[in-house]
């Protein structure tokens, strides 16, 4: 809470928060039920560019590390590609023009929260380190081994992978080495390009083994699940298929059905999904199509171009034989992703939160679950739209290529630091370089490579790794997701189908007295002023706040009242009933002699909380994030700060902050 909040005006003129991402979502975890859903409500409604927006890099750069003279940005170096030279003798060039581990890089922001899972994924080796025996054991199913020595890559191939998965995975790693030359420690790793994870946790005594002979082999692949210890790594499609320009149709103009198209034959659960298709007898609000690859390959894949499929309000994601690369395209669509309860995760999906980024669909009752989701969305269009938007913002902001590289960097860097030996090159190892990969391929493969080639070393450092989850917050994170899914489940159970009046809003979960007392006026109908009522005499800062009250001369957009407990006690406290005070768009919270119990009631109000920079925290307030859960007010210039906040909110009504 005491972090300074930095606001910048973006190029589009919109005020954007620049926040330290570490606190961004770790945070909400400590909330009691009440606040979890407050946060949820808020996230449903807040345009996600506010949540995820801006490039945090600039802020931190400007304030923390670099207080002295602003550095000159390092010069961007381009690494030349000369295939004529390479093809003369097939030797990877040395590129001596690249300074190894350039110290002049600009500092960077904190990485998105899903990076914290790197700590979890490497935990099985945290005590023992990684030995040659462990790596060798992972060879059994690996497609290749990559050795990184002094910043160069060497390849041992064991088995060809499906299509070009392995090619673009190696290509991606080479790009990482170009981006951060000399920054990775020496290491080697086994990579398995097949979908299914194979390192069974059960077999290795879980992820906390202290017994070196019982430690799992470290094996990299694209996905894993709760029963396995495979290390997840970004998939080939970040290089192999480029993100197409996502032609977004406005949400309301889209088809109000749940759409799915794919190959049902790869999994029973997909076959089961076919039953949810519309018939003359029954409409589950789903439109399900089989993909005909043979026909479509003849037509040049026009029909299956995932980017052009963003014309539905709802899109179903359902796993195939394991996880599927299509998930990120579906999430990127601005549609509400109806996610059939997944069994696998890849490197970023553990960062997705039900109801915030997607709507959970029950696996064993798909059709009813889909029907309910679509009806809910069509009757709660703003909330549904926000879920779609939050997901696509997650993909475009937290999963942008810079972060994909940074994820790879941190994963490999942390992995490399666990090494207890220096790898050596066997006689089968061949040097792998951009030239050796690109100079002799043609067609689409070459085109993809040229398009995704990193031009030269990054001028900024990789983002800063967030700390590991402490066990309670990891548990809380999982429990929270679980309870959100449970919630949807219980709504489904209590709703009756066929009627469009599913009048459930997430905040109905608010428990107890708040739920009772809190007659919420829709935000727009509320008083467009900042409201405060309390006892000013307990603190100077509160007395100071009195100056911001409206007068005939000056209107700071604030309406400030003194609490008269004596009078009100006679009237039965009607006036000060906190729950009945939810009739203002903005409510000021200001500390009294120390922190005040009123804060949680104010936060629960659906009003924008204008939080005068606090000096105290209680058990949950450290989880609050400026611009996400509240609007920060300067303590030494309250009136102007309040006036500005209210004006901003009234002119950005959709972006008001809902906690
Ligand atoms: C590429 O290498 C060849 C052979 O060494 C050389 O003649 C040519 O000038 C180089 N091209 C560029 C653009 O540097
Ligand atoms: C370590 O695990 C191996 C294989 O499971 C077992 O044989 C050995 O007794 C264990 N050692 C210790 C010290 O627990
Ligand atoms: C689902 O229903 C639509 C509309 O009747 C139809 O065009 C489509 O082929 C059906 N899909 C499947 C997989 O049967
Ligand atoms: C603030 O202004 C309002 C409207 O003029 C007035 O009713 C209220 O008593 C004032 N509050 C204080 C603390 O003076």
Confidence of residue 69 (pLDDT cuts 50, 70, 90): low
Rounded to an integer, the average pLDDT of 530-552 is 85
CA-based nearest residue to 61, from 102, 18, 106: 106
pLDDT at residue 100 greater than cutoff 60 = yes
Predicted TM-score of the model (pTM)? 0.65
CATH of domain 503-658: 3.40.50
Query: Higher model confidence: residue 67 or residue 61?
Result: 67
Cβ-contact 256, 378 below 8 angstroms: yes
Q: How confident is the model at residue 5 (pLDDT cuts 50, 70, 90)?
A: very low
Q: Tens digits of per-residue pLDDT, 288-346? A: 988 776 666 565 555 445 555 677 889 899 998 787 877 888 888 888 999 999 999 99
* CA distances to 79, 275, 455 from 296, in Å: 39, 24, 35
Look at residue 220 and give its three-state secondary structure. strand
More confident residue, 205 or 203: 203
Q: Which of 79, 80, 82 to mutate to test the pocket of ligand 1 (most atoms within 8 A of CB)?
A: 82
Residue that has been written with the tokens 């700390």 in this structure: 467
pLDDT for the residue numbered 521: 54
The SS3 assignment for 427 reads coil
pLDDT at site 86: 95
Tokens 């929270």 correspond to 480
pLDDT at 103: 67
> What per-residue confidence (pLDDT) applies to 18?
29
Q: What is the pLDDT of residue 64?
A: 39
Closest atom of ligand 1 to CA, residue 88: 4
Of 223, 229, 228, 304, residue with least CA distance to 263? 304
How far from the centroid of its chain's Cα atoms is residue 478's Cα?
15
Tokens (6 digits) for 620: 């949950």
Range of 308-322, 361-375, 583-597, 633-647 with top mean pLDDT = 361-375
> Of 263-277, 395-409, 476-490, which gets the smallest average pLDDT?
476-490
Counting ligand 4 atoms within 8 A of each CB, the residue from 561, 562, 564 with the most, and so the one to mutate, is: 561
- Angle ∠(57,58,61) on CA atoms, nearest 5: 85
- Judge whether residue 452 has pLDDT over 50: yes
pLDDT score for 169: 95
Strand-pair partners of 612: 633
Average pLDDT value for residue range 216-245: 84
561 lines ligand 4 (CB under 6 A): yes
Under 8 Å between Cβ of 600 and 557: no
Give the pairing type, strands 144-149 and 187-191: antiparallel
Give the phi and the psi of residue 200 in degrees, each rounded to 5. -75, 125
Statement: residue 61 has pLDDT above 80 = no
The length of the chain, given as a count of residues: 659
| 577: DSSP letter | -
Encode burial over 15-28: b for 16+ CB neighbours within 10 A, e otherwise.
bbbbbbbbbbbbbb
Range in 41-50, 207-216, 235-244, 249-258 with the lowest mean pLDDT: 41-50
Helix and strand numbers, DSSP H then E, in the chain: 23, 18
| Distance separating the N- and C-terminal Cα atoms of the chain | 16
Interatomic CA distance for residues 49 and 53, integer angstroms:
4
What is the tens place of the pLDDT at every residue in 395-448?
Answer: 888 988 999 999 999 999 999 999 999 999 999 999 999 999 999 999 888 988
Mean pLDDT for all residues in the chain: 77
| Of 18 and 438, more confident | 438
What is the C-alpha to C-alpha distance for residues 418 and 412, in angstroms, rounded to an integer? 10
- Predicted pLDDT at 570: 55
Please check whether residue 422 is in contact with residue 79, taking contact to mean a CB–CB distance below 8 angstroms.
no
Q: Beta partners for 56?
A: none
Coil, helix or strand for 221?
Answer: strand
Q: Which of 287, 291, 316 to mutate to test the pocket of ligand 3 (most atoms within 8 A of CB)?
A: 287
Q: DSSP letter at 61?
A: I
pLDDT category, 207, cuts 50, 70, 90? low
Domain boundaries, the chain: 4-52, 83-238+402-467, 244-398+477-488, 503-658
Of 48-62, 86-100, 205-219, 304-318, give the range with the top mean pLDDT.
86-100
Cβ–Cβ under 8 Å, residues 429 and 156: yes
User: Which atom from ligand 3 is nearest to the alpha carbon of 274?
Assistant: 13
Which DSSP string corresponds to 485-547?
HHHHHHHHHH--TT-S-----GGGG--HHHHHH--PPPGGGSEEEEEEEE-GGG-HHHHHHHT
- Out of 255, 277, 284, mutate this one to test ligand 3's pocket (max ligand atoms within 8 Å of CB): namely 277
Taking the C-alpha atoms of residue 654 and residue 585, their distance in angstroms, rounded to an integer, is 12
How far is it, in rounded angstroms, from Cα 126 to Cα 143? 25
- Residues 188/219, Cβ–Cβ less than 8 Å: no
Q: Which residue has the higher pLDDT, 51 or 559?
A: 559
The answer to which of 193-202, 270-279, 323-332, 488-497 has the lowest mean pLDDT is: 488-497
Which whole number is the average pLDDT over 384-402?
Answer: 89
- Please enumerate in sequence order all residues whose Cβ is within 8 A of that of 64, keeping only pairs 6 or more positions apart, or say none: 107
Q: How far apart are CA 264 and CA 261, in angstroms?
A: 9
Residue of the CA atom closest to atom 7 of ligand 4: 561
- Among the bound ligands, name the one nearest to the CA of residue 211: 2
Q: What are the residues facing 15 on neighbouring strands? A: 9
| Average pLDDT of the residues in 62-76 | 56
Question: How far away, in angstroms, is 205 Cα from ligand 2 center?
Answer: 10
Show the beta-strand stretches assigned E in 138-204. Answer: 144-149, 152-157, 187-191
Residue 498's pLDDT band, with cuts at 50, 70 and 90, is very low
Query: What distance in angstroms lies between residue 277's CA and the mean position of ligand 3's atoms?
Result: 6
Per-residue pLDDT band for 566 (boundaries 50, 70, 90) equals: low
Strand partners, 16: 8
Q: Answer for the pair 168, 135: CB distance below 8 angstroms, yes or no.
A: no
For residue 31, pLDDT over 60 is answered with no
Phi, psi of 209 (to 5 degrees): -70, 135
Mean pLDDT across 476-484: 85
The arrangement of strands across the sheet holding 584-589 comes to 558-562, 527-534, 584-589, 608-612, 631-633
215 Cα to the center of ligand 2, angstroms: 10
What mean pLDDT comes out for the span 261-267? 87
Cα–Cα distance, 76 to 50 (Å, whole number): 30
Distance 84 CA to ligand 1 centre (A): 6
pLDDT at residue 47, as a whole number: 32
Q: Which whole number is the average pLDDT over 537-563?
A: 86
pLDDT of res. 351: 92
Please tell me what DSSP assigns to residue 334.
Answer: S
Residues β-bridged to residue 359: 338
Which range, of 4-18, 541-555, 564-578, averages the lowest pLDDT?
4-18
**Ligand 4 in reach of 549 Cβ (< 6 A):** yes
Does the pLDDT at position 65 exceed 80? no
DSSP 8-state class, residue 439: T
**H or E element: which one contains 317?**
strand 312-317
Which ligand gives the minimal distance to the CA of 258?
A: 3
Residues in contact with ligand 2 (CB, 6 Å cut-off): 211, 213-214
Atom of ligand 3 nearest to the CA of 279: 5
> Could you tell me if 187 and 122 are in contact, meaning their C-beta atoms sit under 8 angstroms apart?
no
Closest CA to 304 of 330, 337, 322: 330
Q: Provide CATH code, domain 244-398+477-488.
A: 3.40.50.2000
Of residues 466, 473, 484, the one with CA closest to residue 623: 473
Q: What is the DSSP letter of 394?
A: I
Is a pLDDT exceeding 80 seen at residue 104? no
Query: What are the structure tokens assigned to 167, written together?
Result: 């090619």
Q: Can you give the pLDDT at residue 63?
A: 37
Indicate the SS3 state at residue 377: helix
């Amino acid at each position: 809470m005491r972090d300074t909040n930095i606001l910048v005006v973006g190029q589009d003129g919109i005020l954007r928060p620049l926040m330290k991402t570490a606190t961004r979502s770790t945070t909400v975890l400590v909330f009691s039920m009440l606040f979890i859903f407050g946060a949820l409500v808020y996230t449903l409604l807040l345009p996600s560019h506010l949540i995820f927006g801006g490039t945090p890099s600039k802020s931190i750069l400007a304030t923390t590390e670099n207080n002295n003279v602003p550095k000159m940005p390092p010069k961007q170096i381009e690494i030349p590609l000369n295939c004529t030279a390479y093809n003369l003798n097939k030797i990877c060039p040395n590129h001596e023009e690249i300074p190894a581990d350039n110290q002049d890089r600009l500092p960077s922001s904190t990485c998105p929260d899903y990076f914290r899972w790197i700590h979890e994924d490497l935990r099985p080796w945290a005590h023992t380190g990684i030995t040659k025996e462990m790596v060798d054991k992972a060879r059994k199913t690996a497609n290749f081994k990559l050795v990184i020595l002094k910043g160069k890559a060497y390849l041992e191939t064991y088995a060809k992978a499906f299509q070009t998965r392995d090619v673009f995975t190696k290509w991606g790693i080479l790009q990482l080495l170009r981006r951060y030359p000399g920054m990775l420690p020496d290491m080697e790793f086994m990579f398995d390009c097949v979908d299914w994870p194979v390192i069974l946790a059960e077999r290795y005594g879980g992820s906390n083994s202290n017994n070196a002979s019982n430690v799992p082999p470290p094996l990299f692949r694209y996905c894993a699940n709760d029963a396995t210890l495979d290390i997840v790594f970004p998939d080939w499609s970040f290089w192999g298929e480029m993100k197409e320009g996502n032609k977004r149709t406005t949400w309301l103009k889209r088809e109000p059905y749940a759409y799915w198209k794919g190959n049902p034959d790869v999994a029973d659960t997909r076959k089961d999904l076919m039953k949810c298709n519309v018939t003359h007898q029954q409409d589950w609000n789903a439109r399900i199509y089989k993909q005909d690859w043979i026909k479509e390959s003849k037509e040049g894949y026009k029909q299956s171009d995932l980017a052009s499929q963003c014309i539905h309000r709802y899109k179903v994601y359902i796993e195939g034989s394991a996880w599927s690369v299509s998930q990120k395209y579906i999430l990127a669509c601005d549609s509400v992703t109806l996610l059939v309860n997944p069994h696998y995760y890849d490197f970023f999906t553990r960062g997705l939160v039900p109801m915030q980024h997607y709507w959970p669909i029950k696996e064993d009752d798909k059709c009813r679950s889909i029907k309910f989701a679509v009806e809910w969305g069509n009757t709660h269009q703003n909330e549904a739209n926000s879920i779609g938007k939050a997901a696509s913002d997650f993909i475009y902001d937290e999963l942008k290529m810079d972060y994909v590289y940074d994820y790879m960097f941190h994963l490999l860097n942390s992995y490399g630091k666990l090494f207890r030996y220096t790898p050596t090159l066997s006689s089968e190892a061949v040097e792998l370089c951009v030239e050796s990969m690109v100079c002799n391929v043609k067609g689409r493969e070459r085109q993809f490579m040229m398009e995704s080639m990193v031009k030269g070393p990054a001028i900024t450092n990789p983002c800063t790794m967030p700390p590991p989850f402490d066990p309670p917050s990891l548990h809380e994170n999982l429990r929270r997701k679980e309870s959100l899914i449970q919630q949807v489940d219980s709504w489904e159970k209590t709703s009756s189908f066929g009627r469009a009046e599913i009048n459930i809003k997430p905040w109905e979960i608010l428990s107890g007295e708040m739920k009772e007392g809190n007659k919420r006026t829709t935000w727009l109908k509320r008083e467009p002023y900042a409201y405060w009522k309390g006892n000013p005499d307990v603190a100077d800062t509160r007395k100071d706040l009195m100056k911001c009250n409206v007068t005939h001369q000056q209107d700071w957009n604030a309406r400030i009242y003194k609490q008269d407990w004596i009078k009100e006690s006679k009237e039965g406290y009607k006036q000060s009933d906190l729950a009945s005070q939810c009739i203002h768009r903005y409510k000021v919270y200001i500390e009294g002699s120390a922190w005040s119990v009123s804060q949680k009631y104010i936060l629960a109000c659906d009003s924008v909380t204008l939080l005068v920079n606090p000096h105290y925290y209680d058990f949950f307030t450290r989880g609050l994030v400026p611009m996400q859960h509240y609007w920060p007010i300067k303590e030494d210039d309250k009136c102007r700060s309040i006036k500005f906040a209210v004006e901003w909110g009234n002119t950005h009504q959709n972006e008001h902050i809902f906690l």
